[in-house]
Structure 1
Amino acid sequence: MEKQPFTPQEIFNLKLETVENRLMNFYEETQNSSTTIQLVLALRVRYQLGAEEFALALKDLVRYLFKRTKASRTMKRFFYYFVDYFDAKEWKMLRLKLFPVRNFIEKAKSAVKSQIAKFLPTETAVP
């Protein structure tokens, strides 16, 4: 098991610059996207607790991880916590990348519903 770059106390007490440097160094050394995403999520919690400077901490790294690395279970699990890191077009593309089966099922449902609707009688007005 690899060494974590932070203790629980450090992740909620260190300055933004220190946290960003250590987390970037951690990712560069380990290339562990799952742990990196979990640590950035902890920074999102810190932001939600009132640390405004952590609003979009490590935005470039998060965008890189979701766009350029292989989708992992952790990325899929925490994907929706990072919605404000991406614009609408990027968000849609990432959803297709991370959840291709879910998107296929939604499209199949809509196609089946439209086919069924063709055969259902339409209501006509009685004079």
Structure 2
Amino acid sequence: MNEPLLTHNQVFSLKPETLEKRIMEYYQETQNSSLTIKYLVALRVRFKLGAQEFAHILEDLVRYLFMNTKATRTMKRFFYYFKDYFDAPEWKRLTLRVFPLRNFGEKVVSVARSLMSFVRPENTTEPDKP
């Protein structure tokens, strides 16, 4: 049975340098992006709980995972937790890459609505003008 890299106690008690080293080594050895992202989400929680030294921990790894690896279910699930790691143009491009069908669907709905706004319903009547 596979032992977890870090226990929940370690994630919330170890120093940032130790966590960075262990998570980087783990990813380099296993290339397991899903579990790596889960650990990074836990570190984001630690940051939100007040540990300011975790603000942009492992920024290079996060950027690499989201920009260069295949979009996994885990990546899509936790995607929005890492918005502040990217600037606006990168975020837009990344959203298109991670959620291609969602963006296509939104575009289709937008075009359909714009086309429907030009068509006037047949059953409406205008009030008589005096």
TM-score range, shorter chain: over 0.9
Query: How much identity, in percent, do the aligned residues show?
Result: 59
CA distance in 1 between counterparts of 2:50 and 2:70 reads 32
Residue number in structure 1 paired with 2:47: 47
Where in structure 2 are the equivalents of 1:29-108 lying within 5 Å?
Answer: 29-108=29-108
TM-score of the superposed pair, with normalisation by structure 1: 0.92
The runs of at least 4 aligned residues of structure 1 exceeding 4 Å deviation read none
Post-superposition shift, 1:115? 0.9
Gaps of 5+ in 2: none
Q: CA RMSD in A?
A: 1.6
Post-superposition shift, 1:3? 2.8
Deviations 1:63-109 (A, max 9, x none): 00000000000000000000000011111111111111110111101
Residue number in structure 2 paired with 1:4: 4
CA distance in 2 between counterparts of 1:86 and 1:2 reads 33
CA distance in 2 between counterparts of 1:4 and 1:93 reads 33
TM-score of the superposed pair, with normalisation by structure 2: 0.90
CA distance in 2 between counterparts of 1:2 and 1:31 reads 15
Post-superposition shift, 1:2? 3.4
The DSSP-based 3-state class of the residue aligned with 2:14 is: coil
| Residue-pair matches, total | 124
